[in-house]
Structure 1
Amino acid sequence: MAQQEDESGRGPLSEQELQDLVTATDTGARDPAGPSAYVIAGVALLWSLFQIYVASPLPYTLANWTGLQLVFNSTQIRSIHLAFGVFLAFLAYPAFARSPRDRIPIIDWVLALLAAFCALYLFIFYRDLSQRPGLPITQDLVFAGLGLVLLLEASRRALGPPLAIVAIIFLGYVFFGSATILPDVIRWGGASFARAMDHMWLTTNGVFGVAVGVSASFVFLFVLFGSMLDKAGAGNFFIKLAFALLGHLRGGPAKAAVLSSMMTGLISGSSIANVVTTGTFTIPLMKRVGFTREKAGAVEVAASVNGQIMPPVMGAAAFLMVEYVGIPYSQVVQHAVLPAVITYISLLYIVHLEAVKKDMPALSRRSTGSPFMGLVRGGIVFLSFVLVMIGIYWLVQFIRMALPALSLEVLVLLLLAAYVGMIWYAARTPDLELDDPNAPLIELPKAGEVVKTGLHFLLPLFLLVWMLLVEHRSPGLSAFYAVLLLIVIMVTQKPLKAFFRQVSQPEVIASVREGGRDLIEGLILGARNMIGIACATAAAGIIVGTVTLTGIGQVMAQFVEFISGGNIFLILVFTAIISLILGMGLPTTANYIVVSSLMAPVIVELGAANGYLIPLIAAHLFVFYFGLMADVTPPVGLASFAAAAVSGGDPLRTGAQSFFYEMRTALLPFVFVFNTDLLLIDVSWVEGIFIFIKATIAMLLFAAATQGFFMVRSRLWESLALLLVTFMLLRPGFFLDFVQPPYEQIAPQQIFQTVENEPEGAGIRINISGPSFDNPDQTIERTMAFALGPAGESPEARFEEASGLTVVQQGDLVALEEPLDLNSLAGRTLAEMDFYADRPVQITAVEVAAERMPPEVFYLPALLILGLVVFAQRRRGGTLAGNPKPAVA
């Protein structure tokens, strides 16, 4: 076994210390006894019940039965949601490191009640506020100002000072934006206290904006779903299943860590909880087979953090994208799934290369036959799963056709029958117990035996995905039905197992009580996990409110365009840097809200203003991917600190190694911005399969290049060659542009004929030239891109609607009138041009996509270069799998 490279002497934390780390970050470090504990638990339980109530059809049913107004609108729900969050933040999180953990000081009770009242102010005085919009009275301003201060303190306690500091800076800009010490480019008129408080607190433009709305409508239920599923035992099931499938391979514990963290990431929005939950078992085993402390922790960090990019949950970003981008949730999943799967496959490969480089042994397991037969069995299982899914789909359609009036009842009965059958099947096998990773002998279980014990855990996930992607129901309603099924499972799984195992009556009664206790604890845990998210989304609303109030977003666009010179690649680099800087202190969700509000529109706008059409979803995913580094990037990557606490390694070195492993995650956003096929935009399913295969191969080669190891240790030229092959596979169009121009230039006089002939959604570019507003003798040139909409009454109207520009033809001259909307893309792009000078602003050329050979022709030289590397490394004795080493106990 390889020796540890680092012996820092730092010992791993105990299990209790690790749980304290998670609770301090996710649920609150305070654990009082007596009545205070019951208050925190009771309020958290009430919060969960309230969120389930407002997500269900029950309010409408009760309103119809009773005639009472029991339905809350979105503003009222946001107000109540934030009131719960800030109240629990002051009770569950101590103010300072020296503040008591075992009791709640009187001042915190006062602050909690006051903060809750300020948040509830919109709910209590909703009717009064609606009757005087934009005209706040003194009482409104007092509680709005107090509410902002208390929200900043609540977010400081729950999330640390960075988010509160950023919010305070933006608030300072609101009030003092006219100060002479500020550069002219960002100076604005400033706002009065009344205007700022009205915008930030008394309307839905600031704190109670889209982010809190998404937190209240969608995120809470998904966080609750994950907490309850983990409490039911799914987390342990995923870990054991991952080890059963991959633990026997080279570097098996690390590969199992990747798989289990991915499965846990499906239901978890917390990187830190993911690290500690799976890492306490996987990291010691990784160290046992030869991973250093830092590398073992880094593998767990990379796997856990990437859980947030894996649909269907994606932390909270997926639901925020639904609102920000304005597309259905199913499309968000469609666009996000391929990069997420590819990044996990490439991480598995990185782990494999580490194991081969160090010649690590595998863990032993009970014999299951030859590897070939294992592959055959895996293929049969996968094919059976696909056939079962197809069968379920057509069974549902048949029931709906045959029994339209009773289809819902029949489907519910069939679902419950399937659940009972799975519990009966699980009862025939002993319950899973997580092994001690430090035990002298670890024998990996068989996958079939593990699956038997937890098939019923897949039912809520199946129902959630079915409702979202097949039924196309809203995320909130889909999560409600999944949580409802989970409630049934948590209450009944243990009593049903006891019944099927024919145990004594007292044991059955005890299992009923245990199931009820699990349900209550799951509801409480879900609410406590939401405290930080509720505060983060509300505090981030201050930044969003500042952007909408001051117009700083337009200034950011001008600033980024100035320092980048209009180069779209540099624009993306600067956006990534901003995300990384903010990511050093903000949680992922808050980072995404802030940077997407500032930079996602800038990416799209500057791309269009410089001739590139970048889909809005690509810009938002770009921002989100770099926001993920919040939990990785040294010196304050919280997930890296958590992993180091488990492994006993150095936190900074663990973070640096994690960032090195995450280079592939940082590469993908640049790729899918320029090659939107990776996001499955306008591609068929056959094309999607091909894109997945070639992109996966490319990312595996990138991993090999960055690791300096492919079949054997790579030489420098071989690593560079693999990077070149990666680029040729992912961006073949870049090389084709040197051979054939990507655009065909058309005379400006034929612009309307061109617009008329192009199909809907086609991209078109126009080159514009005109005199400078500051110096009429100077000529400014711009290239503007836009997508054509459906064919209208005339090509002139179609062009004007798509571009925001009006054309005036004067013989051979195609001039432009000044855009009517100066805040539109056209208005901002051409703001520096003088439309009233002697020389007109005119279109000098029209460009459309040229007909040329397919870019895939460059795959041939890419494969030739790859073959050369393979030949060179095989001559040095390399194999793709590495020479196997005997398993160890």
Structure 2
Amino acid sequence: MEDVKPGTPRFDVRMRVVLTLSFLMALIPLAHKMPSFGPLPSLGPFEAEPFRSSVMAFCLLICVVLHPFGINREGKPRPLGLLVDATLLAVGLWACWRFYVDVTAMHTSIVFFEEWQAWTALGVCVVLIIMTWRIWGAALAIVSSVALAWFLWSFRDDWVQAATENLWLVLDDGVLGNVTDVVLSTVFPFIVLGAMLEGTGAGGSMIRISYHLMRRFRGGPAHAAILASAFFGAISGSAVANVVGTGVITIPLIKRRKFSPEFAGGVEAAASTGGQVMPPIMGAAALVMADLVGLNYLLIITAALIPALAYYGALFASVVFECRRLNVEVAETVEADLAVTPQDWLNLILVAAPLLAIVTCLIIGLSPTGAALTALALLIPLSFLNPAVRRRPFALVEAFAHGGLSFARLMMAVGAIGIVIASMSSTGLPTMFALQLDAFSAHSLLITLIVAAIGCIMLGMGMPTLPAYLTIIIISGSSMMALGLAPLTAHFFVFYFGVASAITPPVAIAAYAAAAISGGNPIRTGVAAVRIGGAIFAIPFMFVFNPEMLVVSQAAADAGPASVLLVILRTGLMVWMMTSAANRYDARRLHPWEIVLRLTLAAALIVPAPPIHWAAIAVALGSVVWHRYSPKVASARETSS
């Protein structure tokens, strides 16, 4: 069901209720981590039982009001649907209340579970699955349903005790378990920070400055879209939010320069998707990864830097090759609405200062949560540098509420993934899966990686990266690590393919959002996004087989700077070979045999064995020289002159 938007009859009442509830809900996790200021005492941290259950209750209420069954697309009530909504709310809110009461009682006395408590646990699981399906689509909901069915089958002889204790009334691996706690405590401040950064109005300034910096490039607005999306995506952590936030300006500009609607949408979708792998924020999944791997978040973003730069380098190269193919020239004039003003440069402070605060806080040893709260405290007074905020300060309150709304929607997916985690941990399915996968792959890391990549893309279609990442790492992470992968490398591999699902047809959600703006065909836009950003599928294999690329890894420390530089060189050359082959163009159109050769060389450059990758480097450089300076090319140049 589509979101309620300003200007529709439903917005005035229902959206105001939703935003009010979102604002109130957002205050709870913020107060949980907010330190005391002077004489003002700190409200948190709260006890786990009321904290987790109250936030989940708020999130359920917000999502049912925002995505009701009882109101159709025309805004008219449906009596049966209203009954469904009331039932969902009653079951969900009752379960959250019982979580607080029963888990609190379990700390002080012996509790014997009854059948009605088991039905309460199953009921709230069904509610979360329904709301996940309604908000995020079928993929995660089906996975959660299968996990729940497997759980009930595994404990069919003692389902009352198992369902009550393992699914709901547990603070470790249940629906409101450790993952929920990490999301509430660590991810939430960054979601609010991203929403507040968007609300300050610095996005338009970033786009104009990006266009100004890229105006001497033939790609012009396409390169500007990549640069702006890298900055904006590093803040928002959401591919779709990035597409909507920057694409409404960049996509029409790209189309003006003779690029097709599908290419314009594909560039924006691929660039926006990459925002989730660009430090320093990188979205919710990277924050959870730091907790699961047990590493400082500063190490996570340091490891992510070279792969992210390689990906954006591939996007820039794709635009260059497309410009050559279409013979696009540098624009002589700059559109009036893209002229950079002094206020645009001043607005950059609203982006640069919070990001610098985050990095500084991480360097001096603060937690990611503390860094986000510091950046948020800095952003609020700085936002008044923007005249638009000074004219309407209430925009900051709305931005805060929208952050709460985004979080409430995410919590439905987190609840569904909690069902999977509870089922996995209590039935031992990951161990069984690892044994089967190990037997299937015959100890082949490559086959294991391919299976994990396909699974992550399939699960990630149409849902946030975080649930897809968690599901795959829970199921197949142990298998990958058993075959020799370091935990950081395995987690990054799954994370990248979860991100890549946003541009992978047929459910390429970022491409669909871009196509809605460009007017292009959604499937062809998705294909264009894969062609432009195809490096995102190769880079994970590069750092798996060459872990020095993640510069904070033990492999990088053992190998030394020279080996790290060699891997960077091979990565750049691999990106060149793969991107030019995907675009079928370099200095001129590539012959089919050149495309096959370059794809083969791209694969060979990934191989860690020195004889293979050194030979690939030599052949790749030779093929580039031949391509550019062969007699046929020289003859064509003389003819054109």
Q: Does 2:548 correspond to 1:574?
A: no
1:709 corresponds, among 550, 562, 585, to 585
Q: For 2:417, give the aligned amino acid.
A: A
Q: Give 1:752's aligned residue.
A: none
Q: For 2:381, give the aligned amino acid.
A: V
Q: Give yes or no for contact 1:175–1:193 (8 Å, CA) kept in 2.
A: no
Q: Give 2:145's aligned residue.
A: 168
Q: Give yes or no for contact 1:596–1:620 (8 Å, CA) kept in 2.
A: yes
- Written as runs of structure 1 = structure 2, the 5 A alignment for 1:780-795 is none
Q: Give yes or no for contact 1:31–1:92 (8 Å, CA) kept in 2.
A: no
Give the direction of change, closer, same or farther, for the CA distance of 1:577–1:868 in structure 2 (3 Å limit). Answer: closer
Q: Give yes or no for contact 2:285–2:466 (8 Å, CA) kept in 1.
A: yes
Q: Give 2:275's aligned residue.
A: 307
DSSP 3-state at the match of 2:357: helix
Question: Matches of 1:260 and 1:157 in 2, distance apart?
Answer: 31
Query: What is the CA-CA distance between 1:213 and the residue it aligns to?
Result: 1.5
Q: Give yes or no for contact 1:241–1:447 (8 Å, CA) kept in 2.
A: no
- Written as runs of structure 1 = structure 2, the 5 A alignment for 1:284-363 is 284-363=252-331
Q: Give yes or no for contact 1:725–1:863 (8 Å, CA) kept in 2.
A: no
Q: Give yes or no for contact 1:85–1:534 (8 Å, CA) kept in 2.
A: yes
Q: Does 2:354 correspond to 1:460?
A: yes
Query: What is the CA-CA distance between 1:580 and the residue it aligns to?
Result: 2.2
1:119 corresponds, among 96, 100, 108, to 96
Bigger CA radius of gyration:
1
Query: What is the CA-CA distance between 1:277 and the residue it aligns to?
Result: 1.6
Q: Give 1:699's aligned residue.
A: 575
DSSP 3-state at the match of 1:714: coil
Q: C-alpha offsets along residues 757-779 of structure 1, whole Å, 9 cap, x if unaligned?
A: xxxxxxxxxxxxxxxxxxxxxxx
Q: Give 1:483's aligned residue.
A: 376
Give the direction of change, closer, same or farther, for the CA distance of 1:728–1:636 in structure 2 (3 Å limit). Answer: closer
TM-score (norm 2): 0.90
**Number of matched pairs:** 628
Query: What is the CA-CA distance between 1:225 and the residue it aligns to?
Result: 0.5
Q: Does 2:409 correspond to 1:532?
A: yes
TM-score (norm 1): 0.66
- Written as runs of structure 1 = structure 2, the 5 A alignment for 1:354-753 is 354-365=322-333, 441=335, 444-445=338-339, 450-468=344-362, 470-490=363-383, 492-494=384-386, 512=390, 514-515=392-393, 517-605=394-482, 607=483, 613-680=484-551, 681-682=553-554, 683=556, 686-687=561-562, 688=564, 691-733=567-609, 735=611
In structure 2, stretches of 5+ residues that fail to align are none
1:79 corresponds, among 40, 48, 53, to 53
Q: Mean alpha-carbon deviation: is it higher for 457-466 or for 35-44?
A: 35-44
Give the direction of change, closer, same or farther, for the CA distance of 1:135–1:28 in structure 2 (3 Å limit). Answer: farther
Between Structure 1 and Structure 2, the one with more helix by share is: 2
Question: Matches of 2:98 and 2:199 in 1, distance apart?
Answer: 35
Question: Matches of 2:500 and 2:620 in 1, distance apart?
Answer: 33
Question: Matches of 2:447 and 2:214 in 1, distance apart?
Answer: 41
Q: Give 2:36's aligned residue.
A: 58
Give the direction of change, closer, same or farther, for the CA distance of 1:663–1:198 in structure 2 (3 Å limit). Answer: same
Query: What is the CA-CA distance between 1:162 and the residue it aligns to?
Result: 2.6
Give the direction of change, closer, same or farther, for the CA distance of 1:691–1:579 in structure 2 (3 Å limit). Answer: same
Query: What is the CA-CA distance between 1:124 and the residue it aligns to?
Result: 4.3
Q: Give 2:18's aligned residue.
A: 40
In structure 1, stretches of 5+ residues that fail to align are 1-19, 179-188, 367-440, 499-510, 608-612, 737-857
Question: Matches of 2:616 and 2:488 in 1, distance apart?
Answer: 32
Question: Matches of 2:305 and 2:344 in 1, distance apart?
Answer: 27
Query: What is the CA-CA distance between 1:734 and the residue it aligns to?
Result: 5.7
Q: CA RMSD in A?
A: 3.1
Give the direction of change, closer, same or farther, for the CA distance of 1:261–1:861 in structure 2 (3 Å limit). Answer: closer
What's the % identity of the aligned pairs?
28
Q: Does 2:90 correspond to 1:213?
A: no
Give the direction of change, closer, same or farther, for the CA distance of 1:144–1:62 in structure 2 (3 Å limit). Answer: farther
2:190 corresponds, among 217, 222, 227, to 222
Q: Mean alpha-carbon deviation: is it higher for 195-204 or for 139-148?
A: 139-148
Between Structure 1 and Structure 2, the one with more strand by share is: 1
Give the direction of change, closer, same or farther, for the CA distance of 1:727–1:630 in structure 2 (3 Å limit). Answer: closer
Q: Give yes or no for contact 1:63–1:70 (8 Å, CA) kept in 2.
A: no
Question: Matches of 1:212 and 1:479 in 2, distance apart?
Answer: 18
Question: Matches of 1:638 and 1:703 in 2, distance apart?
Answer: 22
Question: Matches of 1:60 and 1:150 in 2, distance apart?
Answer: 43
Question: Matches of 1:513 and 1:292 in 2, distance apart?
Answer: 39
Q: Give yes or no for contact 1:246–1:256 (8 Å, CA) kept in 2.
A: yes
Question: Matches of 1:35 and 1:301 in 2, distance apart?
Answer: 33
Q: Give 2:123's aligned residue.
A: 146
Q: C-alpha offsets along residues 52-72 of structure 1, whole Å, 9 cap, x if unaligned?
A: 2112113998668xxxx8531
Give the direction of change, closer, same or farther, for the CA distance of 1:864–1:127 in structure 2 (3 Å limit). Answer: closer
Question: Matches of 2:98 and 2:127 in 1, distance apart?
Answer: 14
Q: Mean alpha-carbon deviation: is it higher for 723-732 or for 674-683?
A: 723-732
Q: For 2:392, give the aligned amino acid.
A: E
Q: Give yes or no for contact 1:275–1:300 (8 Å, CA) kept in 2.
A: yes
Q: Does 2:634 correspond to 1:875?
A: no
Query: What is the CA-CA distance between 1:35 and the residue it aligns to?
Result: 5.6
Give the direction of change, closer, same or farther, for the CA distance of 1:698–1:75 in structure 2 (3 Å limit). Answer: farther
Q: C-alpha offsets along residues 83-124 of structure 1, whole Å, 9 cap, x if unaligned?
A: 221110101113388356477985435643552342243334
Q: For 2:535, give the aligned amino acid.
A: R
DSSP 3-state at the match of 1:58: coil
Query: What is the CA-CA distance between 1:465 and the residue it aligns to?
Result: 1.6
2:242 corresponds, among 274, 281, 289, to 274
Question: Matches of 1:134 and 1:659 in 2, distance apart?
Answer: 54
Query: What is the CA-CA distance between 1:129 and the residue it aligns to?
Result: 2.8
Query: What is the CA-CA distance between 1:877 and the residue it aligns to?
Result: 6.5
Q: Give 1:93's aligned residue.
A: 67
Question: Matches of 1:678 and 1:864 in 2, distance apart?
Answer: 22
